[in-house]
Structure 1
Amino acid sequence: MSPSLTRPQPAERLPTGPGWVFEPKYDGYRALVECRGGIGRLVSRRGTDLTRLFPELATAVVEQVPDGSQLDGEIVVLRDGRLSFDALQERMAAGPRRAAALARSSPATLVVFDVLVEQGSDRTGESWTTRRDRLEVLGAGWRPPVQATPCTDDRAEAAGWMAALAPMGIEGVVAKRAGARYGAAGSWVKVKQRQTLQGVVGAVVGPLHRPEALVVGRWSEDGELGVLGRAPLAPRQSAEVGPLLSPPSAPHPWPDQVSAAHFGGDPVTVTHADPVLVVEVRADTAESGGRRRHPLRFVRVRLD
């Protein structure tokens, strides 16, 4: 299945000026969706075939998407009123044998935001506006679990989405150039909603006196220190924080190596710190198991 999926470039603010349109950014799995010869397929951005893991979506694609078409979209799962990446991961980890049962107990939704091929006609060379028109025609008769994403050309409305939809697990907004072909450089940018949070430094990557990154934790109501996330430091920030850290004054609740599940990468060897120094960080809304999946941004030390 081709073409490859367009990846939006990160930005700090929504772009201004004419010619931009805006869509919500979902916390899910990006997927290239195809209906060909009466068979529906879903393939991840990295080329993993997801079809057997989400049989309810594959069936819906066959029933609702014209044969010979390819769509660009996001697979999401709603749990307790918000998009749940944990629920999505559970669907992935369960494998094909349990897929049918999970499709009933934890159903997925396919949110479509682009038309790449329509009944054999390549649409990628056309403008976003033209492709959106085709999406609205195709999506007019869609029903759950397939739906077209909302969009707006009103920057103020998109900015409102950033705050209003964050509690539902919407990560932010993707801005797209209305006149651009699919895959044009710089035509898609993503802006994430960020929250300011406080936590304690439970460990660092590197030595305490010159940390490369902080491993920030938060105390639960029952007194357990959980990992919130990792905040990389610039040299100036490291020089500021290092002298304020000290070794643990009691047995530390964390292991010497923090698992990959906490950071979305390889396991990380850490140096424990006395978990008393309070810091302020900025984080996007993507979370899993109470931790933030993406790196935190160090803001400042809180000594008050």
Structure 2
Amino acid sequence: MIGAITGTLGRPLLLVLGHHDQAGRLRAVGRTVALRPEAARQVAEHLAAAAGGHPWGGVRFSSVWGSREALEVVLVRPDLVAEISADTTIDRGVFRHPLRFKRLRLDTSPRDVPPFGAGPTAAAAGGSGGRARTGQRTPTPRCCAMTNRLRAEHERSMRALEEIAKAAGKAG
């Protein structure tokens, strides 16, 4: 579901997408890359400003994965279903990389979409060890090797910091 946009209602630049969880709460799951002009026009025709009580009222979204910089968004009525393509890793139910908007699903209502963690996307939503499995590319061996190397470097750095802290405690 489209829960927010950047840009304006008349010219959305990108979409912030959500998915209802088992309790019915709309959870943010990712954002798209910049919309192509034709896609932006199509989406703009159907967008409506959010009324009071939007589930994301007061929520700040980061501009990129892991950033503290806030993304300026306009909350919209979360009643449009977007078809997207994604070929990236999912971390705790959130797509780590931007999604590609394919089209609006005007033939589908939010009630027709299975809850987050259910249906054919359940494995992608968190039951796959962090990797998407439903028609999405999994990380390559090179990517996994790089991740493992970075994790090992981080662990070495943390051990070194612990040793420094212990030595400083003994000296002081």
* TM-score, scaled relative to structure 2: 0.56
1:209 correspondence with 2:1: no
Structure 1 unpaired stretches of 5+: 1-199
Superposed displacement of residue 255, structure 1: 3.8
Equivalent-residue separation in structure 1 for 2:30 and 2:84 (angstroms): 10
How big is the shift at 1:261?
8.2
Matched position secondary structure for 2:42? helix
In the alignment, structure 1 residue 298 sits paired with structure 2 residue 106: no
SS in 1 for 2:101: strand
Work out which of the two has the higher radius of gyration on C-alpha atoms and give 1 or 2. 1
- Secondary structure of 1:212's match? strand
- Name the structure with the higher strand share: 1
Contact 2:63 2:71 in 1 (8 A): no
Deviations along 1:67-122, whole A, 9 cap, x unmatched? xxxxxxxxxxxxxxxxxxxxxxxxxxxxxxxxxxxxxxxxxxxxxxxxxxxxxxxx
Task: State the partner residue of 1:246.
Answer: 48
Q: Residue 27 of structure 2 corresponds to which residue in structure 1?
A: 226
- Distance in 2, matches of 1:290 and 1:261, equals 18
Contact 1:256 1:269 in 2 (8 A): no
Q: Structure 1, residues 114-147: CA drift from partner, whole Å, max 9, x if none?
A: xxxxxxxxxxxxxxxxxxxxxxxxxxxxxxxxxx
Deviations 1:2-59 (A, max 9, x none): xxxxxxxxxxxxxxxxxxxxxxxxxxxxxxxxxxxxxxxxxxxxxxxxxxxxxxxxxx
Identical amino acids, percent of aligned pairs: 38
Q: Give 5+ residue unaligned stretches, structure 2.
A: 108-172
- Partner residue, 2:87: 284
Partner SS for 1:295: coil
Output the CA distance in 1 between the equivalents of 2:64 and 2:94.
7
Higher RCO (C-alpha 8 Å, min separation 6): 2
Count of matched residue pairs? 105
Equivalent residue, structure 2, for 1:23 = none
RMSD: 1.8
CA contact (8 A) 1:282 1:296 kept: yes
| Aligned match of 2:166 | none
| Paired position in structure 2 for 1:47 | none
Q: Which amino acid aligns with 1:292?
A: F
SS for the counterpart of 1:204 is: strand
Counterpart residue identity of residue 20, structure 2: W
CA 1:256–1:207 in structure 2 vs 1: closer, same or farther (change >3 Å)?
farther
Q: Distance in 1 between matches of 2:25 and 2:12?
A: 24
Length-normalised TM-score, structure 1: 0.33
Structure number with the higher helix fraction is: 2
Specify whether residues 235 and 279 from structure 1 end up closer, same or farther in structure 2 by C-alpha distance, changes over 3 A only.
Answer: same
For 1:287 and 1:261, locate their aligned partners in 2 and report how far apart those are by CA, in whole Å.
17
Question: 1:278 Cα shift?
Answer: 0.6
